[in-house]
Amino acid sequence: MEKADIEAIPIIKTFDLKDEKDAYDAAEEMVRIGFYKEKKGFKVLMSKESKKTAKRIGYIITTSVTSDLKKAGQERDIQYWTYHHDKEHYAIVLVSSKVVQELGF
């Protein structure tokens, strides 16, 4: 998908994360809010200031969301895209595969 397509996905909540602890908290909140209640996804912003920290945050988000969904007994069919959001941020958009199909992406 192109950046314009990714940014066209409706977003429930955007998380601007600074460190790894924020990533664990955000993943937990995403699962609590749910990926299936609304036809929307989540956006995670990570600073480009430290590429190493951004990579760790991205890894924590993707693995924690999957793990937390399993613990909650929810379907783990989540798609995500990582991209350069702007000059200062990388971004990850996470959304249910079913929502992606229903929205026609």
Annotated domain spans of the chain? 3-99
CATH placement of domain 3-99: 3.30.110
Question: In this predicted model, what pLDDT tens digit does every residue of 23-76 receive, in sequence order?
Answer: 999 999 999 999 988 889 999 999 999 999 999 999 999 999 999 999 999 889
3-state class of 12 per DSSP?
strand
C-alpha closest to that of 64 among 48, 50, 80, 52: 80
pTM of the model: 0.91
